Amino acid sequence: MTLAWTLTCSACDRTDDPAGLPEVCPLCGAPWLVRYAHPPAPDAKARLATRPWTMWRYREWMPLAADEEPVTLGEGGTPLLPAPRLAAALGLEALWIKDESVNPTGSFKARGLSAAVTRAKGGGARAFTIPTAGNAGVALSAYAQRAGIPVAVFAPTTTPPRILEQMRLFGANVQLLDGHIGDCGKVARQYAAERGAFDVSTLREPYRIEGKKTLGLEVAEQLGWTLPDVCIYPTGGGTGLIGMWIAFAALLEAGWVAGRAPRLFSVQSTGCAPVVRAFESGSARTEPWPDPWTVASGLRVPGPLGGPIVLRAIRETSGGAVAVSDEALSDAAQRMAGAEGIDAAPEGGATLAALELLLERGAVRRDERVVLFNTGAGWLYRS
Ligand SMILES: [Zn+2]
């Protein structure tokens, strides 16, 4: 199998071959980024017309060998829904919600884990493990089943019960721990070392970003190969935001779109906002957030490994980072349901609350084209 890409370190000069089961840069411990040997062939765009609407329609942009089939449940191809009532209420000209709740397993995590499990299966993984705040555990459980590989999930005891139920439905060995995802990560790494399981934690393997990248490719295609001005994205571990940053830059470089990359805004909860704090203080890296808590369980990531890359992405695109309270994000999720019929996860609600704050501050203008990302299904969070 010929793999037409290399791995480059996100922090130092190291590059490596992608064979086997790569984890993080062995020199400095930072996440790998994927660099393709060739840009997609010029006829790749025309080929899209004949392909189904899953994220693998962009296979020329993806870490896939020419003759290889992905581990897929039909992820991606989610609707980019105009939100006219919310737009009118806010005085905006153009507002869309990219609704990731309709992915297999009910969240955006399907994209990253379809890509990661595809590569790990190709690399010879015999077992998987993951620490999770919720949705990533459900997605990995389903894709691991699809690949016929066993999985152990480490999750906080505070994970919404229905999300835990979904993991068990997909046959995962679910272990609950007191603490947050960082605590679960330590136990998962120990488990991986002892049992020979492959750890697919956020950014501890290179390919979840590549799956998330398709969010950006899809938004561009759904807007007729144009880019929005502003993307507002809820940030826990940060792979989605990093993936879109890479996607928009690659689309511009390949000439598939014109103009400039959208300004990327990261949204967190005031109960756990390490990216916002680092952004506001001008720091290049996040500091661990003490006693993190938020009802938006996907945002309860106190020390994201990808913090420095998220900060680079929002600064390079002239975006920003804002924190909203649990009350504001829950209220906004209800308004998304009431006004537009979208059952948003609390993290999705956070993007609407953030948009309101950004409009108030003048950081987003009312004549700009704005996309909010609802990353998951609200029903998964209700018991
Ligand atoms: Zn390095």
When pLDDT is cut at 50, 70 and 90, the band that residue 150 belongs to is very high
**Chain-wide mean pLDDT for the chain?**
96
- Picking from 355, 241, 245, the residue whose alpha carbon sits closest to that of residue 298 is 241
Say how many Å lie between the CA of residue 63 and the centre of ligand 1. 20
Burial code of 201-220, b = ≥16 C-beta within 10 A, e = fewer?
A: bbbbbbbbbbbbbbbbbbbb
Say how many Å lie between the CA of residue 357 and the centre of ligand 1. 37
Say how many Å lie between the CA of residue 9 and the centre of ligand 1. 5
When pLDDT is cut at 50, 70 and 90, the band that residue 39 belongs to is confident
Q: State pLDDT tens for residues 114-137.
A: 999 999 999 999 999 999 988 999
Say how many Å lie between the CA of residue 312 and the centre of ligand 1. 16
Range of weakest confidence among 96-105, 157-166, 205-214, 274-283: 157-166
Going by the DSSP 8-state scheme, the letter that residue 360 receives in this structure is H
Q: What type of residue is 250?
A: A
Say how many Å lie between the CA of residue 211 and the centre of ligand 1. 22
Q: What is the mean pLDDT of residues 265-278?
A: 98
Say how many Å lie between the CA of residue 229 and the centre of ligand 1. 32
Which residues fall within 8 angstroms of residue 373, CB to CB, at 6 or more apart? Answer: 97, 98, 100, 108, 215, 231, 232, 233, 234, 240, 348, 351
The CB-based long-range contact list for 51-57 (8 Å cut-off, 24+ gap) reads 52/77, 53/77, 55/111, 55/114, 55/211, 55/214, 55/217, 55/218, 56/114
Q: State pLDDT tens for residues 213-246.
A: 999 999 999 999 999 999 999 999 999 999 999 9
Say how many Å lie between the CA of residue 247 and the centre of ligand 1. 22
Q: What is the dihedral of CA 133, 204, 349, 246, to 10 degrees?
A: -170
Q: What type of residue is 194?
A: E
Range of weakest confidence among 39-48, 203-212, 341-350: 39-48
Q: State pLDDT tens for residues 184-202.
A: 999 999 999 999 999 999 9
Using the predicted structure, report yes or no on whether residue 1 has a pLDDT greater than 90. no
How far apart are the C-alpha atoms of 117 and 139, rounded to whole Å? 10
When pLDDT is cut at 50, 70 and 90, the band that residue 41 belongs to is confident
Say how many Å lie between the CA of residue 15 and the centre of ligand 1. 8
Q: What is the mean pLDDT of residues 160-172?
A: 95
Q: What percent of the chain has pLDDT over 70?
A: 100
Say how many Å lie between the CA of residue 204 and the centre of ligand 1. 13
Say how many Å lie between the CA of residue 68 and the centre of ligand 1. 29
Supply the pTM of this predicted model. 0.96
Hey, what are 312's tokens?
Answer: 């680079």
Using the predicted structure, report yes or no on whether residue 159 has a pLDDT greater than 80. yes
Say how many Å lie between the CA of residue 24 and the centre of ligand 1. 8
User: Which residues make beta-bridge pairs with 307?
Assistant: none
Q: State pLDDT tens for residues 48-102.
A: 999 999 999 999 999 999 889 999 999 999 999 999 999 999 999 999 999 999 9
